Amino acid sequence: MSAVQEFLDRVVRPTVDDWLRNPLDERLAKQAANELNNLAERVFRHWPAGAPDVYGAVTIGEYRRKLVEHAASDFQLVWDIADAHKHVELHRPSRQVSRDDQTTPGCLGFGEGGFGEGAFDGPELVVRLDDGSRRALSGVPSNVLAMWERIVPG
């Protein structure tokens, strides 16, 4: 088993599972975002730039942007939430979220979020994007975890 696969199995999956069992726990959500984001660094360092799943990227920032573009657009939210949690405020131009306090418990109104997103009967964790729109976080970790399961060989 590769070190990347071991990190996915021993750290990322259990952390995401903990959050999915406690979907209103902001601490667990941000920890799951951190680990899903940290896996990008491990994959990038493990495989050479010529590997198909690295998309020819030569820097970790470029690799993250390629993941958003080619593998899972929800990785952008994971990346932004993790970085905002770490740095409190972000200034990189490609972000959708600028501050840590944009991820909070709340409820989406009718028509908010993506199609099929959000709880129908109560509060959940919601991220307010810089453009003013809001997204439910409930589906994001599963989407990004599925991306990593496609990329990291089992």
Report, as an integer, the average pLDDT of 9-17.
97
At 80-139, the pLDDT tens digits run 999 999 999 999 998 999 999 999 988 776 655 554 555 555 678 999 999 999 999 988
- 3-class state of residue 103 by DSSP: strand
Whole-angstrom Cα distance, residue 108 to residue 88? 24
Residue type at position 14: P
pLDDT tens string 15-72: 999 999 998 999 999 999 999 999 999 999 887 655 666 778 888 999 999 999 999 9
Residue 143: is its pLDDT beyond 80?
A: yes
Domain residue spans of the chain: 3-95+139-151
- Which helix H or strand E contains 85, and what residues bound it? helix 75-87
Arithmetic mean of pLDDT, 139-148: 93
Whole-angstrom distance, CA of residue 53 vs CA of residue 123 = 36
Residue 130 tokens read as 């810089």
Give the pLDDT confidence score for residue 131 in this predicted structure. 96
